[in-house]
Structure 1
Amino acid sequence: MMCGGPSATQPATAEIQVIADQVKSQLEEKENKKFPVFKAMEFKRQLVAGTNYFIKVHVGNDDFMHLRVFQSLPHENKPPTLANYQTNKAKHDELAYF
């Protein structure tokens, strides 16, 4: 995959669910609410100095959120961070760079 451009959208994997779970508390703090459902559905990956993950997450009912999670390079040994997110998304909304 080339550096810079995001990958095609792919179905979420167990690895992506782990990444989403690692930033769930950051999102809950920002939104000031708990998400009993937090299921990663699909994702895009963008290689930068580290990796940006764009993850569509089902948060209950017909509600979805798009997360941008930054994972630094392995040697930096840092947990993923929630860089940005979008609320009020629907199941069919396309994951786009934000």
Structure 2
Amino acid sequence: MMTGGLSDAEAATPEVQQIVSQVKPQFESKENKNCAMFKAIEYKTQLVAGVNYFIKVQVSDTDYVHLKVFQSLPHENQGPSLVAFQTGKTRDDPLTYF
């Protein structure tokens, strides 16, 4: 994958679910709601000075959100941070850059 370009969508892995779990409190704080469900479905990555993850997350039986999460380089010893998100998504909405 070229630096800056988005990868193809892939099924979420345990690693991606761990990232989603780590940024869940950031999302809940910004949205001012608690999510009983917060399951990573699929993701794309973008290589920058670290990695941007674009992740489709299921938050209820029919509701989805798209998260943009930045993971810095390993030597920086920082956890993932929620950069942006889009609500009101469906299972079929494609992940795109935002």
The answer, yes or no, to whether TM exceeds 0.5 is yes
Equivalent runs, 1:68-83 vs 2, <5 Å: 68-83=68-83
Q: Distance in 1 between matches of 2:4 and 2:94?
A: 19
Gaps of 5+ in 1: none
- So what's the TM-score if we normalise by structure 1? 0.99
**Which stretches in structure 2 are left out of the alignment for 5+ residues?**
none
- Quote how far apart the aligned CAs of 1:45 are: 0.5
Q: How many residue pairs were aligned?
A: 98
Matched to 1:33, the amino acid is: K
Matched residue of 2:33: which SS? coil
TM-score under structure 2 normalisation? 0.99
Aligned residue number for residue 56 of structure 1: 56
Indicate the residue corresponding to 2:27 in structure 1: 27
Q: Distance in 2 between matches of 1:26 and 1:92?
A: 25
* 3-state secondary structure, aligned to 2:61: coil
Percent identity of paired positions between Structure 1 and Structure 2: 58
CA distance in 2, matches of 1:3, 1:92: 27
Shift of 1:35: 0.4
**CA distance, structure 2, for counterparts of residue 79 and residue 93 of structure 1:** 27
Segments of 4+ moved more than 2 angstroms: none
Partner SS for 1:47: strand
Task: Report SS of the residue matched to 1:21.
Answer: helix
Secondary structure of 1:19's aligned partner:
helix
Corresponding residue SS for 2:70: strand
Q: Distance in 2 between matches of 1:3 and 1:96?
A: 16
Tell me which residue corresponds to 1:47: 47
- The root-mean-square deviation of aligned C-alpha atoms, in Å, is 0.4
